[in-house]
Amino acid sequence: MNYIKFAGNAHERRSRLPELHEEGMQTILVKPRMRVTTCSGSLQFHVINIRTDIEFVFDDGFITPCILPDEINMGFIPASPAKDFGWHDPGFIHSALLTELQPSTNFSYRYGRTPPVGGSEELKFLAFGDMGKAPLDKSAEHYIQHGSVDSVFHIGDISYATGFLVEWDYFLNLISPVASRVTYMTAIGNHERDYIGTGSIYITPDSGGECGVPYETYFPMPTPAKDKPWYSIEQGSVHFTVISTEHEWSKNSEQYEWMKKDMASINRSKTPWLIFTGHRPMYSSTSGLTNIDQRFVDQVEPLLLQNKVDLVLFGHVHNYERTCSIYCECKGMPTKDKKGIDVYDHSNYTAPVHAVIGMAGFTLDKFDLKMTGVYQGFQSMDILEDMQQRKS
């Protein structure tokens, strides 16, 4: 396991998920717990099947089930498979606004534990990207059950349903032991939003026609509006600026102006740490045409330096990588403390540290051993350490 610690003067501080509920006697629900209610009897069972047809046959006393009459309006779903053979009616999705919740307080009935209020001394959080429907991580659940984690940040490529909407049900069921206990914050990725001709900045079919609609329905973040999935939030001593790499981010765009205003308005005496996060990275040693968009780096990276961002978290590349303090080139390397933990001293700020954390659920991408220039900052630290751990 890799550990990171920041030190310095001014910086030395270190819904329950939506559920489907029965309404009256007329329900067909798959989440993936399913209840079919008929006019004369009922049958309850658990559906694990994902992408094959399922046929229900009722005989000997079971008449035709009473079908839910009204489909939920999830918005405009323009393309296949989300609009046709991948479509699955999720039934009713209920949400509630809980008020007067106190920071750092346990709530055991509906929600769980709220994160520390902005400006308090400490925040402990988990962050990762690109998980999908991987097996439940017992270690993460262990930490949360013992109350040592305040929140989770899942930064893009959430369920990989890609237009097969029943897979959202399966994914939500998998994460419910975690997401029902702590805040589960998200950022949008290409597999939630991108589709040809729908306004995404990258012209790919990666969302399977979902275009962000199921994502925004299941994970309502504090965003400005629908299909504007960027926001900021303060927890403990950290200000999180969460962006969408899948929407326009170039200079003078709405999101760019929001980023600039948000980071410039932070009270660093209240939240001295600034973490910037989204899905697609600015730096990675892993080769690939879609991994790094130099236009994104050229347009947005100057804002990070101007606002003295401490840590940048990205996913998309299915690996773990961490840079030196970097802006176009390596500006400073960490030092080791007595326990062997890398320490970045931001009392003399030079540049942000970037971490690629898209290693949550998929087969890891291969590292490029022929790195030159700026990527030597990767090679001298985490990449070689990771390769040595794999060999041992």
Per-residue pLDDT of the chain in tens (392 residues, 90 and over written 9): 444 444 443 333 332 223 333 333 233 333 333 444 444 445 554 444 444 444 444 444 333 333 222 333 344 445 678 877 788 777 777 777 777 778 888 775 555 677 888 888 889 999 999 998 866 556 665 556 666 889 999 999 999 999 998 899 989 988 888 888 889 999 999 999 999 989 999 999 999 999 999 999 999 999 999 999 999 999 999 999 999 999 999 999 999 999 999 999 999 999 999 999 999 999 988 766 567 899 999 999 999 999 999 999 999 999 888 999 999 999 999 999 998 888 888 888 999 999 999 988 877 777 665 554 444 444 434 433 443 343 33
Please report, for residues 31, 161, 186, 194, 315, the alpha-carbon distance to residue 47 in angstroms, rounded to integers and kept in the order given: 8, 16, 26, 29, 31
Q: Residue 381 CA to chain centroid, in angstroms? A: 25
| C-beta separation of 260 from 254 below 8 A | no
- Residue 289 is encoded by which pair of tokens? 């045409």
Beta strand 238-242 pairing with 231-235? antiparallel
Query: Taking the domains of the chain in order of start, what are their residue ranges?
Result: 4-17+105-391
| C-beta separation of 237 from 13 below 8 A | yes
CATH of 4-17+105-391, one of 1.10.8.60, 3.40.1160.10, 1.10.10.10, 3.60.21.10: 3.60.21.10
Please report, for residues 110, 162, 207, 209, the alpha-carbon distance to residue 362 in angstroms, rounded to integers and kept in the order given: 31, 15, 17, 22
- List Cβ neighbours of 107 (8 Å cut-off, separation of 6 or more): 101, 113, 114
CA gyration radius for the chain? 22
- Please name which of 334, 329, 328, 321 lies closest in space to residue 364, comparing C-alpha atoms: 321
112 φ, ψ (degrees, to nearest 5): 130, -125
Q: What pTM value is reported for the model?
A: 0.74
- The per-residue pLDDT for 79 is 66
Tokens 């200000």, residue located: 239
- The per-residue pLDDT for 34 is 40
Three-state secondary structure string covering the chain:
CCCEEEECCCCCCCCCCCEECCCCCCCECCCCEEEEECCCCEEEEECCCCCCCCCCCCCCCCCCCCCCCCCCCCCCCCCCCCCCCCCCCCCCEECCCCCCCCCCCEECCCCEECCCCCCCCCCCEEEECCCCCCCCCHHHHHHHHCCCCCEEEEECCCCCCCCCCHHHHHHHHHHHHHHCCCEEEEECCHHHHCCCCCCCCCCCCCCCCCCCHHHHHHCCCCCCECCECCEEEEECCEEEEECCCCCCCCCCCHHHHHHHHHHHCCCCCCCCEEEEECCCCCCCCCCCCCCCCHHHHHHHHHHHHHCCCCEEEECCCCCEEEEEEEECEEEECCEECCCCCEEEEHHHCCCCEEEEECCCCCCCCCCCCCCCHHHHHHHHHHHHHHHHHHHC
- Please name which of 64, 86, 69 lies closest in space to residue 77, comparing C-alpha atoms: 86
- List Cβ neighbours of 257 (8 Å cut-off, separation of 6 or more): none
